[in-house]
Amino acid sequence: MFAKQHTPTPTPRKSFSGRGREASYSPVRVDKKEFGPATNPLKVMVVGGLEEVGRNMTIIEYRKEIIIIDMGLQFPEEDMPGIDYIIPDVTYLKDKKDWVKGVIITHGHYDHIGGIPHIMGEIGNPPMFMGKMTAGLVRKRHQEYKTAPALKIKEIDETSSVKLGSSFQIDFLRVNHSIPDCFAIIVKTALGTIIHTGDFKIDFSPVNDKPADLNRIAQLGAQGVLMLMSDSTDSTHPGYQISESAIGEELGKLFDKIEGRIIIGTFASQLSRVQKIFELAEKYGRRVNLQGRSMNSNVEVAHQIGYLKFDPRILVEDKDLNRLSDNKVIIIGTGAQGEANAFLNRVVNNEHRTVSLKQGDTVLFSSSIIPGNERSVQNIMDMLVRQGAKIINYRMLDIHAGGHAKEEDLKLMMRLIKPEYFMPIEGNHYMLKAHADLAEIVGIPKDHIFVADNGQVVSFHKAVDNKIVGTLTKEKIPSAYVMVDGLGVGDVSEIVLRDRRMMADDGMIVIIATIDNKTGTIIGNPDLISRGFVYMKGNRDLIEKTRMKVKKIVKDKNPMTPADDDYIKNKIRNDIGQFLFNATKRRPMVLPVVIKV
């Protein structure tokens, strides 16, 4: 394995107790004796983020004490109609509330904070630790959930140190991403140190943020790291991630040439990008109009705490937008992924109250396309061009930098940390596998690389020779999708989704039959209602045949026995379903309603 280097002297850090009260500055000297005998296994369980991009949540357990890293959401897949988002399954924690000593959040993106309002009350509302920017975003989102418990948040930075329970010492390492205040989490235990990178990239000239401290990363590697858990989102992309500062330079060249309005579609969380746009707006004498609830909310939070620096007078409200000449306007909005209700989509569909496209507009797509959104983005680009706008996207010029480390950055992180064991996280399985291949290239043995599924338990224990041995076990804890639909959390099952998919595919037909309560004979003709199946006025023949078929089904029942609702409903559902399939080769959902009089 990797050769160990001389251990440097630790740097002073702020120290917090598990209750979040700040103590005096003192050097962190973690002595394994402090944690007691290392007889129990150290368990690492990722319940979201190993089979998808999103829903990130990691549980680390030792001696009946637990810490949690991140608590994110995942946006619904195409086959989940009506679902707002998905959060991690915390079934494993519900009878272990007193074990949970704290929650650490790596950064403020929704795939890392989105589950907080739904989950914290379920696990006993333990103390939370996060950076200043992240805390602002979490508090802002939490205001929308009136029944959720008040959060116990303690803000940290790279000098902080937190003792949680008797098993965990937590330190923080600042890393770069597409939002300020991102931290890798250093978890020190009696069996060794685990480092969780969170989302990161290596950027030597970030915007409004400090660059990652590569010297400290190397020091951590020299001290010895049991396992590295590292971001895999861009593990299939060769090379190095481009710096956010370079994007600002490219945008500046464009602003110098564009005469009309500049409309920029980007992620609301790309606050470094937004900062560069504000600076360029001031340089070129333009005013900025913000569009989209999330864009306005994030900018407000970041400006209040000093992470976005601009003169508020540069902002222009919707009502004053059309009073400015076109060469004095920049509009920043959401919708660069083609989202249905976002700003750009409302503009191209002429549904926006203030903004409509005109000749001379230039629309910049300052974000890469998330896999699966290609068709939506293509459609919106088509409509923009048809309405007279000119389009510039990241494929034409470097006007977007990703927030995730690419292959060479990932290899550099592994070479600096030199972990005994490696676990790729935060990505689909093929991304994890690609990251595992990179780990082999830098010299980590294949049997020390754990490509796990959601819920699969990674266990570390002390062997007879006192060596710490890690295993990817076959044990799994619950990690199912918990779907949020409106105010409902977890009440939409796979059966409900199947019914929604069926209705979306072939529609539904409601059959209302009125029958005599004593004899079971039908009274009058059944009523039929079709939704998404056939247009009734244009298919009178099929509707009449269906009606007669229902009458026959009810009439064939023995008139000497009382009406049996379940029997009649099942008979109508099965027989009419088969009849309609034979007639149309479609399988609408058949909903029988029996009214007894």
At 395-447, the pLDDT tens digits run 554 444 577 899 999 999 999 999 999 999 999 999 999 999 999 999 999 99
Name the pTM for this structure. Answer: 0.78
The one catalytic residue among 109, 118, 142, 404: 404
Whether residues 340 and 411 share a domain: the answer is: no
CA 173 to chain centre: 22
Q: Is residue 112 part of a domain?
A: yes
Q: Is residue 6 part of a domain?
A: no
Phi, psi of 167 (to 5 degrees): -110, -20
Q: Is residue 437 part of a domain?
A: yes
Q: Is residue 15 part of a domain?
A: no
Distance CA(265)–CA(333), nearest Å, equals: 5
Whether residues 516 and 584 share a domain: the answer is: yes
Q: Is residue 16 part of a domain?
A: no
Residue 367 is predicted with a pLDDT of: 67
The one catalytic residue among 231, 234, 409, 485: 231
Q: How many CA atoms lie within 13 A of 585 on its CB side?
A: 0
Q: How many CA atoms lie within 13 A of 141 on its CB side?
A: 21
Whether residues 377 and 355 share a domain: the answer is: yes
Residue 545's domain comprises 494-596
Whether residues 228 and 321 share a domain: the answer is: no
Whether residues 460 and 506 share a domain: the answer is: no
Whether residues 335 and 477 share a domain: the answer is: no
Task: Name the burial class of residue 413, with classes exposed (0-12), middle (13-18) and buried (19+) by CB atoms within 10 angstroms of its CB.
Answer: buried
Tokens 């920017």: give the residue. 133
Residue 370 is predicted with a pLDDT of: 60
First-to-last alpha carbon distance for the chain, in angstroms, is 81
Residue 88 is predicted with a pLDDT of: 95
Whether residues 422 and 499 share a domain: the answer is: no
Total structural domains in the chain? 3
Residue 27 is predicted with a pLDDT of: 33
Contact 511, 528 (CB under 8 A): yes
**How far from 299 is each of 244, 290, 291, 528, CA to CA, in Å?**
18, 9, 11, 52
Q: What is the CATH number of the domain that holds 135?
A: 3.60.15.10
Q: Is residue 13 part of a domain?
A: no
Q: Is 326 a catalytic residue?
A: no
Residue 29 is predicted with a pLDDT of: 41
pLDDT along the chain (597 residues), means of 10: 42 51 35 55 95 93 96 79 82 95 95 94 95 93 89 94 95 90 95 95 78 89 96 91 73 83 84 86 91 88 88 89 88 75 82 84 75 70 84 59 85 96 95 96 96 96 88 94 73 66 76 78 83 80 88 69 70 88 84 83
CA 331 to chain centre: 26
Contacts 24+ apart (CB under 8 A), 439-443: 439/414, 441/411, 442/411, 442/414, 442/415, 443/1, 443/2
The CB density around residue 138, as the number of other CB atoms within 10 Å, is 22
Q: Is residue 411 part of a domain?
A: yes
Whether residues 349 and 425 share a domain: the answer is: no
Q: Is 361 a catalytic residue?
A: no
Q: What is the CATH number of the domain that holds 360?
A: 3.40.50.10710
